[in-house]
Amino acid sequence: MSQNLENCHVGVENKLGVVRPATEEYAEEAIEALKAQKVIAVPTDTLYGFACDACSREAVNRIYEIKGRILTSPLAICVGDVSDIKRFAITDNLPHGLLDSLLPGPVTVVLTRGESSILEKSLNPGLDSIGVRVPDCNFIRVIARGSGSALALTSANLSGQPSSVCIKDFENLWQHCDFVYNGGELPSGRAGSTVVDLTRLGKYKILRPGRAAFNVSREIYLKMIQANMFFFYSPALLPPSLLPDH
């Protein structure tokens, strides 16, 4: 993942003592904060996000409070590896190798949650699906693995405000985080991930073009054809309020 620390330089950024470089040297500290039900800010391959343990009701509610986000707006989850997804969502209905062909990368796959999911029940109440990310970003993947859980993940900004590609973009919210991990300025242009619905057997739908819309969407289309997946259209598209924002 390309990083530009110079463009995201913060001279007095550590006045709260929370800013750290997003390097493996600080991964264990981040993991311990997550296990203690704290909220941290991290870079991904698209935007900066707020992250917490997705199996902690207290931590999930804290993210909603920080963002001023209504509880009916869903959060995505992030895991360290594609093989972890089956703990939190149903994957055995998908063509072999499909998830590995899409992830890691700037894609959110929407899957059926299922009764066997170990996610906190208060996460996205009323929805039987969950958006799942495996970002192409080493730091967040390391801490997701180390946490032993999934991370609830949402963009690091107040709800309805522009997304963050640099930690200075959400400086007003640092005080609500245990740690803010600086990965430099991200190259996404404030575009979130491409969101792909895989909840229907043998079919797929791109709910949001997201980052690098044409190239990513075309690549996904080709992979779906190879997997014998067919595009489906429904006039009842999910409104923006029901899409993961990362």
pLDDT of residue 219: 78
HSE value, Cβ hemisphere, 13 Å, CA-based, for 55: 14
pTM of the model: 0.87
User: Under DSSP, is residue 28 helix (H, G, I), strand (E, B) or coil?
Assistant: helix
The segments of the chain whose pLDDT lies below 50 read: 2, 4-7, 11-12, 212, 235-239, 241
Question: In the sheet where 194-197 sits, what is the strand order?
Answer: 19-21, 179-182, 40-43, 48-53, 151-155, 76-78, 129-133, 107-112, 194-197, 203-208, 230-231
